Amino acid sequence: MPSTAEQELDDTGRAGPRGRRLPVGLARAAAIILVAVLVLFYGAGGWFYSGEIRDGALKAAPPTDPDYRIPVLAVGDHAVTLGRDAASPADLTAAGTWGLQWRDGYGQMGAVQELEPDRVVRTFTQLRGAPLEVGDQAGVDSFAFPSDPRAAFGIPFDEVTYTSELGPTPAWFVAGTRPTWVLFVHGYNAPRREALRLLGPVLAQGFPALDIAYRNDPGAPRSPDGLRHWGKEEWRDVEGATAYALAHGATEVVLVGYSMGGGIVTSFLYESRLAAKARGVILDAPGLSLGAAVDHGARDRTLPLAGVPVPASLTTVAKAIAGVRYDLDWDRLDYVDRAGRLSVPVLLFHGTADPRLPIAPSQALAAARPDLVTFVPVAGAGHVESWNHDRARYEQATRAFLDRVAATTTH
> What pLDDT digit, counting tens, does each position of 128-158 carry?
999 999 999 999 999 999 999 999 999 999 9
- CATH 3.40.50.1820 is the classification of domain 149-289+333-405: yes
Q: How much of the chain exceeds pLDDT 90, in percent?
A: 81
User: Which residues, 6+ apart, have CB-to-CB distance to 28 below 8 Å?
Assistant: none
- Sheet with 158-164, edge to edge strand ranges: 158-164, 167-174, 209-212, 180-185, 252-258, 278-284, 346-351, 373-378
C-alpha span between 173 and 192 (Å, rounded): 12
Q: Which residues pair with 120 in a beta bridge?
A: 82, 115
Strand 346-351 to 278-284 pairing: parallel
Three-state secondary-structure class, residue 214: coil
pTM to 2 decimals?
Answer: 0.89
Average pLDDT, the chain: 91
Statement: residue 384 has pLDDT above 60: yes
Instruction: Give residue 260's pLDDT band: very low, low, confident or very high (50, 70, 90).
Output: very high
Segment among 37-41, 296-300, 311-315 with least mean pLDDT: 37-41
pLDDT of residue 409: 57
Three-state secondary-structure class, residue 21: coil
CB-based contact 275:269 (threshold 8 Å): yes
C-alpha span between 171 and 149 (Å, rounded): 12
Statement: residue 316 has pLDDT above 70: yes
- The gap between the terminal CA atoms of the chain, to the nearest Å, is 103
216-226 pLDDT tens trace:
999 999 999 99
Instruction: Give residue 305's pLDDT band: very low, low, confident or very high (50, 70, 90).
Output: low
Statement: residue 47 has pLDDT above 80: yes
For residue 374, the tally of other CB atoms under 10 A from its CB is 17
User: Which residues, 6+ apart, have CB-to-CB distance to 206 below 8 Å?
Assistant: 176, 177, 178, 410
